[in-house]
Amino acid sequence: MKSFFSSRLASFRYAFHGWRYALRTQQNVWIHTGAASAVLIVGLWLKLPARDWAALALTMAMVFAAEFLNTSIEAVVDLVSPDHHPLAKIAKDVGAAAVLVAALAAILVGLLILGPPLWAKLNLAFFK
């Protein structure tokens, strides 16, 4: 039982190492982190209900997961195909497309959830 828990702890350590690697090396992760931070701040300011937080959390997790998977795809492709190869390009391009789809979906979800209450609050503040 002790080895089970120590191996689970090691798994978490490896995952956080990967997260730290992505933060250090991938500029898009910084963009996603900034966007997620802005959403969190605006959501707190708007006092969103729990179901909206759940949708935002899942959406943000989807974007980060896609970015992390894309980073791992790029690393593996670079490892097995250091020279330019058409299939390596396809793998990298499709991984990047997955991140794009996730990010566009996140923007849509963010607009649908944050848009109406933010618009109402701004209207009250500026157009009394």
Q: Which of 67, 71, 106, 114 is catalytic?
A: 67
State pTM to two decimals: 0.89
Q: Where are the domains of the chain?
A: 26-126
Specify the CATH architecture of the domain 26-126: Orthogonal Bundle (1.10)
The pLDDT of residue 61? 98
Mean pLDDT across 84-109: 97
Q: Is 74 a catalytic residue?
A: no
| 104-125 tens-digit pLDDT | 999 999 999 999 999 998 887 7
Q: How many CB atoms lie within 10 A of CB 54?
A: 11
- Following DSSP, what letter does each residue of 36-103 receive, concatenated? HHHHHHHHHHHT--HHHHHHHHHHHHHHHHHHHHHHHHHHHHHHH--S--HHHHHHHHHHHHHHHHHH
Cα separation values, 14 from 9, 37, 47, Å? 9, 24, 35
- Phi, psi angle pair for 118, to nearest 5°: -65, -45
Q: What percent of the chain has pLDDT over 70?
A: 99
